[in-house]
Structure 1
């Protein structure tokens, strides 16, 4: 259970105002150790790759042991409030970023619609379509490639231009946190990675949530098959997160 459970209303306000929220102590020490061990046991398949950074997609399908990390208490309630009670998971990705890793430039993940800056500055509340939870499995300091975020930049109405490193006078802030903490952010937020200047490897688990009408991103797509052991082990909520929805207009 989250060490400091953030009230859902406060969390939604943070996502609307700043574009992100921290969730402290989402995982306990035993869970952090388990996920790190699960990552160490992974082997690359399909579009996975290993090197200076190791990147593994759709890890929920590897083993039922990953399932509790699709909907940890303290996170899933916020995701459902932000994206609808019928939201689902569009990916669960594991990372290891080794010493010397070079982080991503300033970017956003997905812009559902480009809107005029004057509308976004007027108090218009932009609905959320996609959110990412980054669950840190190390104590993140300034040298261990912290994520950098620009508060409020989700209201820019566009992706950052090349070399654009600030928005409305606000520059990127590093997210420094403890193992087991989580950063939940909406897809329009400007954010970047940073270099791993330490001798340590950073372990990270991402869970990507989307509204029901946002397509699930389960590669290799046409050849995708659910692991039967995973489906048998799912709770009803986890089955819904993996796409077992009730019939609706476009089904």
Structure 2
């Protein structure tokens, strides 16, 4: 599919799947990098999952995964050529993991569903998340659940709500190396790791319009790694915040 076709899916369905973005060597590299991570600040290694934020700042090896071919073109088409990365999170979900309930990630403002139902109205995107899957995802290995079109609900799911307009959440089953991209208003959920011997390896990259703040913990104590900066391409520097001057700079 073309970037234009994926962009149409984001506008109509709220998500799109990009197949085969990562090849086998890239998958192996990411799994090795994730296995070497140690917790900093809000990171943790838990009983059933391990979670590491801002991994782009650990070493230059992570940089290539900020602007993968096909992914970055879609992010820029959706959010503007001056978009940036607001976070990059590595996750391992082990047997027994229980995913989050139905939710959305960010809603700029509540809007009447009657407006959003009008096909002539296109809701601008503010934040996109890319899920880079490093395993074949089947029904037992923590598939991401999505409700197509639910970004047009104009609100977040209520407690205990399990569907939107009668649509239940669908599991995104895919192959290692595939990338799921979805907009922040989409109703989605995690799911359980029902296996006994497999962990799901996932890298999340969050993209935002320039006016969306970057979420680089520990915030006041955060400093960009000079070795990482030295290895950046011009596009990667922009993604990390090296923008041209604008109104609020």
Is 1:192 matched up with 2:196? no
Q: Which moved more, 1:159-168 or 1:76-85?
A: 159-168
Selected match of 1:92 from 62, 84, 88: 88
Task: Report SS of the residue matched to 2:115.
Answer: helix
Which residues of structure 2 form unaligned runs of 5+? none
Question: Residue by residue, what CA displacement relative to the aligned partner does 1:212-243 show, whole Å, maximum 9, x if unpaired?
Answer: 00000000001111100000000000000000
Q: 2:133 aligns with which of 136, 148, 156?
A: 136
1: distance between equivalents of 2:174 and 2:7?
A: 21
Give the TM-score taking structure 2 as reference length.
0.98
Q: For 1:230, what is the secondary structure of its paired residue? A: helix
d(CA) in 2 for partners of 1:54, 1:188: 25
Cα deviation 1:132-154 (Å, max 9, x = unaligned): 00000000000001000000000
**Secondary structure in 2 matching 1:132:** strand
Q: Residues of 2 paired with 1:32 and 1:9: CA distance?
A: 26
- 1:232 pairs with one of 212, 230, 233: 230
**1:52-78 deviation per Cα after TM superposition (whole angstroms, max 9, x unaligned):** 110000000000000000000010000
- 2:141 aligned with 1:171: no
Which residue number corresponds to residue 83 of structure 1? 79
Query: 3-state SS of the aligned residue for 2:45?
Result: coil
Cα RMSD, aligned residues only: 0.5
1:61 to 40, 57, 61: 57
Deviating beyond 6 angstroms after TM superposition, the runs of 4 or more aligned structure 1 residues are none
1:10-42 CA-to-partner distances (Å, cap 9, x unmatched) read 111100000000000010011001000000000
The answer as to 2:212 corresponding to 1:217 is no
1:11-160 pair list within 5 angstroms: 11-51=6-46, 52-123=48-119, 124-160=121-157
| CA distance in 2 between partners of 1:205 and 1:155 (Å) | 27
The equivalent residue for 1:3 is: none
SS at match of 2:39: coil
Extract unaligned runs of 5+ from structure 1: 1-5
1:8 is displaced (CA, Å) by 1.4
2 CA distance for matches of 1:120 and 1:92?
30
